[in-house]
Amino acid sequence: MGWKTLDRRTAKHDTEAGPVLNEAVRDKIRSFFPRYETKRAVLLPALHVVQDALGHVSYQAMAEIAEVLEIPPSAVLDTLTFYTHFWDHDKGKKVAVVCRSLSCQLMGADSVLDACKNELGIDEHGTTEDGSFSLVTEECLAACDHAPCMLINEKMHKCVKPEQVGKLLKDAKNAEIEPERSDLFDGPTASATPAPSQKNNGDEAVADNGDDDVLGKTSDVDEMRDS
């Protein structure tokens, strides 16, 4: 990920558009407080919850998480940028993660990745135009016995052959997992998430800066969403 900077003087947070985190999400974050000695320790669970609820963690969301946890917003950004799991811009509905570590590479992960790129028409870290898929690579997914392997959202697909990739990515049930799910780190249930228009505004608060090229990526995503 390249460097992205926000200019404090020009980036305006449109507070009139309202917060991106609703009370339900905030309550869910607060429910982790008794588990840890400090509020900052709730940051990772909070980021998981917010990413699940909103799809990604926007700058506005980071500022609001900071407000709930009573820490500086820079601390949230600091932590978030260290971890590869969190997205600060919009991602696809499903994320395909292809393992690229040694066991998988020896068993043909490169051709699986190429098949994914061809099938989806995107490069690594890209998102399809309809916003249905994002493609990333990860280091070892700890399923070397089933190499080459890939994740689609939470589902681990084992011993993937390049010729199966097309069918696999089209399968509507390719992200369903067998074990009973625990909703501990999920966002609050669908009804409680904010209306789409409100969510959009929240993002624009950061991205609505015609002359601010550094935010190009976020603006692209917004255009994509509007179209």
Is residue 12 at the binding interface for another protein, with CB under 8 A as the rule?
no
**CB 49, min distance to another protein, A:** 11
The DSSP line for the chain is -------TTT----GGG--SS-HHHHHHHHTTGGGSSSSGGGHHHHHHHHHHHHSS--HHHHHHHHHHHTS-HHHHHHHHTT-TT--SS---SEEEEEE-SHHHHHTTHHHHHHHHHHHHT--TTEE-TTSSEEEEEES--S-GGG-S-EEETTEEE-S--GGGHHHHHH-TTTT--SSPP--TTSPSPGGGSPPHHHHHHHHHHHH--TT-GGGHHHHHHHHHHH-
Nearer to another protein, 138 or 212 (CB): 138
Nearer to another protein, 66 or 221 (CB): 66
Restricting to residues 47-66, name those near another protein by CB under 8 A.
47-48
Residue from 2, 3, 9, 37 touching another protein (CB under 8 A): that is: 37
Stretch that binds another protein, among 4-12, 14-22, 181-189, 195-203 (CB under 8 A): 181-189
Count residues near another protein (CB under 8 A). Answer: 51
**CB 93, min distance to another protein, A:** 16
Is residue 3 at the binding interface for another protein, with CB under 8 A as the rule?
no
Q: Which residues contact 140 (CB under 8 A, 6 or more apart)?
A: 99, 101, 102, 103, 104
Residue from 2, 179, 196, 210 touching another protein (CB under 8 A): that is: 179
Nearer to another protein, 100 or 199 (CB): 100
Nearer to another protein, 108 or 131 (CB): 108
Is residue 38 at the binding interface for another protein, with CB under 8 A as the rule?
yes
As a whole number of angstroms, the distance between CA 43 and CA 69 comes to: 7
Q: How many CA atoms lie within 13 A of 59 on its CB side?
A: 20
Restricting to residues 80-139, name those near another protein by CB under 8 A.
82-86, 97, 100-103, 105-107, 138-139
Nearer to another protein, 107 or 115 (CB): 107
The contact set with another protein (CB under 8 A) reads 35-38, 40-45, 47-48, 69, 78-79, 82-86, 97, 100-103, 105-107, 138-147, 151, 153-156, 177-182, 184-185
